[in-house]
């Protein structure tokens, strides 16, 4: 016995159903993960910002004291228009994320795999009760080369 075309769901209806199911699953996964990677000030006007922070990966929240000046000294907005500006933006923002122990600050400048690496490094440091205070003071590049799937922006 063959199905009539009227009773068979169309490919587009199946695609929409799968997309909706995938969307619901992703939303549930995000809700279960419960990332709490933000640093909030104490509101007392002190020079230190004290907060319990945890990187988005699993791990205990740890009480750290971060100077308020470190939290407010954000790098300039990221520029993702050229290979050189992408690398520079990434380096400035990842340094800032390490300094404030909040990986989410740098995620717009990196892919998912790098975000997990940075997040894990921050969480590891938090568990050891330390943060990394680094800053990029100068960067120079050589001539970039563009291939079909990537661009290399060498340091000079």
Tell me whether residue 74 is in a domain: yes
Sign for the pseudo-dihedral over CA of 103, 109, 115, 120: negative
- What's the structural domain count of the chain? 1
**Parent domain of 49:** 39-152
Q: Which residues on neighbouring strands pair with residue 49, listed in sequence order? A: 66
Those residues whose C-beta lies under 8 Å from the C-beta of residue 98, and which sit 6 or more positions away, are: 118, 121, 122, 125, 131, 132, 133, 134
Tell me whether residue 3 is in a domain: no
Tell me whether residue 140 is in a domain: yes
| pLDDT at 61 (0 to 100) | 75
Rounded to whole angstroms, the Cα distance separating 83 from 141 reads 10
pTM score: 0.59
Rounded to whole angstroms, the Cα distance separating 22 from 25 reads 5
Tell me whether residue 93 is in a domain: yes
> What's the average pLDDT block by block, 10 residues per block, for the chain (156 residues)?
53 53 45 37 39 56 82 92 89 94 92 93 90 85 88 84
Tell me whether residue 18 is in a domain: no
| pLDDT at 118 (0 to 100) | 95
Burial class (CB in 10 A: 0-12, 13-18, 19+), 59: middle
CB count in 10 Å sphere of residue 66: 20
The one-character DSSP state at 7 is: T
Do 118 and 102 form a contact (C-beta atoms < 8 A)? no
Tell me whether residue 62 is in a domain: yes
Tell me whether residue 110 is in a domain: yes
Structure tokens at 50: 């004290």
């Amino acid at each position: 016995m063959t199905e009539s075309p009227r009773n068979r769901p169309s490919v587009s209806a199946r695609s929409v159903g799968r997309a909706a199911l995938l969307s619901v699953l992703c939303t549930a996964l995000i809700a279960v993960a419960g990332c709490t990677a933000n640093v909030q000030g104490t509101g007392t006007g002190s020079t230190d910002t004290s907060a319990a922070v945890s990187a988005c990966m699993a791990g205990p929240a740890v009480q750290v004291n971060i100077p308020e000046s470190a939290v407010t000294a954000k790098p300039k907005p990221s520029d993702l228009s050229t290979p050189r500006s992408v690398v520079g933006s990434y380096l400035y923002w990842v340094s800032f994320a390490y300094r404030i122990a909040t990986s989410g600050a740098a995620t717009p400048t990196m892919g998912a795999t790098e975000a997990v690496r940075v997040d894990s490094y921050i969480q590891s440091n938090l568990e050891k009760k330390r943060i990394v205070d680094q800053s990029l003071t100068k960067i120079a590049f050589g001539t970039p080369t563009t291939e079909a799937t990537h661009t290399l922006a060498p340091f000079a």
